[in-house]
A and B are shown apart, each in its own frame.
Chain A
């Protein structure tokens, strides 16, 4: 079956651009899967994981995603994520340490102050990575 192109883009770089068969993303209201020829769609994504099945070797890759959107147009799926990482690249130990340091910093701040920093987002990212790594 002919595939379609899926891009995963973060502000830092274009992470992946490959021919795929099916893409499953964590939509804000539940998981969504896209096959070739899906209607145009723009959706907010929840933090979570995306499955991407490559058209070439049929292998499924998993990515941890945070704070993104997905844009589906005729023959292309673009996942715009604030942060994204391949599941096999997640360093669980490092993430745990990071999470611990973020939590200790957050504990010192009031909710009001915390909102002006990126700490809540960092924490969510750590959680998302751990969940994907554990799955």
Chain B
């Protein structure tokens, strides 16, 4: 039989844990809203960018742009891993890291070497612990990603790709599918695949019956190739920035779900412990009474 005092201490401890998890849940809920607003604010830019790039790419046809060209042999793969700085978000980080591990093993089996760009302390810790120092790392930014961070990754990736140091760039992140669900996403950033652009457009909110705005004769200045040369790096930046802010939104949503589950579990546990506490207390009283009664009966005899 556990003693009363021990149970009481456990109830107190679980109650205070519950307070913390409930607070975290509410904080995360507030941050989800802000993160979603940021995703929404970035959407007009991304949409116009995709639309423009799709229409330019369609006109150019087979171009020799370095960012569009597939490298014949894939020897070096750059993986951009987007995680959070903090834990306590359920499977948020471990899902990404596990997926990256599998991806790396596959790529290595194909004879490619893998480099990692780590965003978020969790990814940095994971890779440095495994003695694979990330080529670039960003900490303390996961809750509040900046365009500069995305631009830095893009600059590094593009430079590597053009020079031939890198043959493929992949980004892995959590997509905030809806407020309660996160979806693991793996996207190939480089080489840019223009054929997916159009399907992306179709999937977006551009209604099918509406004619694409950039049809017919369009003047390109200084020239269609030059426009493409400038558009592609910007597109890569946009894609990476989008992955970062999407992941930030997903992180808060994941934390909210995780903390909600923790709060529920704590409530259940307090209930269980309180019941046990009462049973033990009642048992002690019963024992005492029967002892007294037994003692009195013994005296009477």
Contacts and interface: CB of A to CB of B under 8 A. Distances in A.
B221 A116 contact: no
B41 A12 contact: yes
A14 B217 CA distance: 27
Contact of A73 (B42, B213, B237): B213
Contact of A14 (B44, B221, B222, B231): B44
B44 to A, nearest CB: 5
B221 A28 contact: yes
B155 interface: yes
Given A43-B227, A44-B226, A116-B159, A9 B48 contact: yes
Contacts of B150: 11
Contact of B52 (A7, A39, A42, A74): A42
Nearest to B230: A44
B89 interface: no
Contact of A42 (B42, B44, B218): B218
B227 A80 contact: no
Contacts of A80: 45, 48-49, 52, 234
Contacts of B45: 9-11, 14, 80
B41 A118 contact: no
A2 interface: no
B41 A13 contact: yes
Interface in A53-88: 67, 69, 71, 73-74, 76, 78, 80, 82-83
Contacts of A32: 221
- Summarize A's interface: helix, strand, loop or mixed: strand
A29 B222 contact: yes
Contacts of B210: none
A60 to B, nearest CB: 23
B213 A28 contact: no
B298 interface: no
Contacts of A83: 147
A28 B222 contact: yes
**Residue of B214, B221, B237 most packed against chain A (CB within 10 A):** B221
B48 A78 contact: yes
A41 to B, nearest CB: 4
B234 to A, nearest CB: 7
A40 B219 contact: yes
B52 A40 contact: no
Interface in B4-54: 41-42, 44-46, 48-49, 52
Nearest to B224: A42
Contacts of A116: 155-156, 159
Contacts of A35: none
B217 A40 contact: yes
A40 B49 contact: no
Nearest to A39: B219
| Chain A to chain B: the 10 pairs with minimum beta-carbon distance, closest first | A43-B221, A13-B41, A41-B219, A40-B218, A73-B213, A9-B45, A118-B151, A44-B230, A14-B44, A11-B147
Interface of A: 7, 9-14, 27-29, 32, 39-44, 67, 69, 71, 73-74, 76, 78, 80, 82-83, 115-118, 121-122
Given A42-B52, A69-B231, 10 more contacts: A9-B44, A9-B45, A11-B241, A14-B41, A40-B214, A43-B219, A67-B230, A80-B48, A83-B147, A117-B152
14 contacts: A10-B147, A39-B217, A39-B219, A40-B218, A41-B219, A42-B221, A42-B227, A43-B221, A69-B227, A69-B230, A80-B49, A117-B152, A118-B148, A121-B155
